[in-house]
Amino acid sequence: MLNRVCRALSAGALALAASACGSDSSVAPNDHGADLNQIFAELWTSGLTASVSTPRGVLSSFTVPAFVPSNCSYAAASKSFECPTQSLSGLSITQSYTLLDVNGAPQSAFDPATTASVHTNSSVKGALAIGTSHAAMDAQDSRTLSGLLTGVHTLNGTSTSKLSETSADSAGAQPYTSTTTSTIENLVLPDAASGNAHQWPVSGTITTESTSTLPELPDLPGFKTRTVMTFNGTSTVSITMDDGFSIEHCTMDLATGTVACT
């Protein structure tokens, strides 16, 4: 049971890496005086984390470098800040972000008095080869942190990753494909000014849907799973998992990583 829960949660790591499982006291989400680096630490703590657990394990855990706002330059044409393209292990990484005022108008510079939200876009494309395994990856991530002027920071976003992997073994080339979409919906982040020793998202959900095809099951159109994580301000997160055959309800303690299912 625990292994199954962990597999389901690994697909949602892309969303969770940003803030859901963290409570770093060095980041003050609802501090009106926060600078841009603090905001990005809150919005994008671990960068684009593509934790894709595949049967062959080519991409067991791959983390794209986090945003560094000072490395990005404002482009008048797109009205956004474009970051230098990075290359890592055969993958091409592109990142950009947009600063928005209270009316949703783009800004050419960060102003703690008028910048109301930050929107980021990231993508990872390319191919990796490890031993006899080869994988092609195409991942996109878009997220928005709003409420910078009100003191209540809310995170929304969607990320999609497509993976195609081939592993040559004694039976020949064995293909595996997967598509995973994670949606962060109205994740209200904790108020660091409250002084709580441990802080967790106040409310909101993270939904992850994944479709995989396995060479061992060629007659199946695809193995589908759907996982919904619901936050309530405590370290205990409610998890509902549907794999098309059964629905399970679990809880996970973010403080200890303990999972319990009924």
Look at residues 224, 151, 157 and name the one whose alpha carbon lies nearest to residue 194.
151
The first and second tokens of residue 262, run together, are 């009924």
The pLDDT tens digits for 181-210 are 989 999 998 865 555 545 788 899 999 998
Query: pLDDT band for position 162 (50/70/90)?
Result: confident
Q: Which residues pair with 251 in a beta bridge?
A: 238, 260
3-state secondary structure 58-118: CCCCEECCCCCHHHCEEECCCCEEECCCEEECCEEEEEEEEEECCCCCEECCCCCCCCCEE
For CA atoms 91, 64, 12, 160, the dihedral sign is negative
Is residue 91 classed exposed, middle or buried when 0-12, 13-18 and 19+ CB atoms within 10 A define those classes?
buried
More confident residue, 102 or 191: 102
Q: Which range is least confidently modeled, 89-93, 120-124, 130-134?
A: 130-134
- CA–CA separation, 186 and 257 (whole Å): 23
Contacts of range 131-134, beta carbons closer than 8 Å, 24 or more positions apart? 132/167, 132/168, 132/169, 133/56, 133/57, 133/58, 133/165, 133/166, 133/167, 133/168, 134/58, 134/165, 134/166, 134/167
For CA atoms 16, 17, 19, 23, the dihedral sign is positive
3-state secondary structure of 194: helix
Report the phi/psi class of residue 139: left, alpha or beta, with left for phi > 0 and alpha for psi in -120 to 50: beta
The predicted pLDDT at position 173 comes to 60
Q: Given a cut of 90, is residue 7 above it in pLDDT?
A: no
- Reported as type and span, the H/E element at residue 7 is helix 2-11
Q: Given a cut of 90, is residue 251 above it in pLDDT?
A: yes
The answer to whether 97 and 120 are in contact (CB under 8 A) is yes
- CA–CA separation, 237 and 17 (whole Å): 15
Q: Which of 1-15, 31-45, 120-134 has the highest mean pLDDT?
A: 120-134
Chain-centroid distance of CA 204 in Å reads: 15
Query: pLDDT band for position 32 (50/70/90)?
Result: very low
The ranges assigned to domains in the chain are: 2-193
The residues, any chain, with a CB within 8 Å of residue 24's CB and separated by 6 or more, are 41, 45
When pLDDT is averaged across residues 60-81 and rounded to a whole number, the result is: 82
Query: pLDDT band for position 18 (50/70/90)?
Result: very low
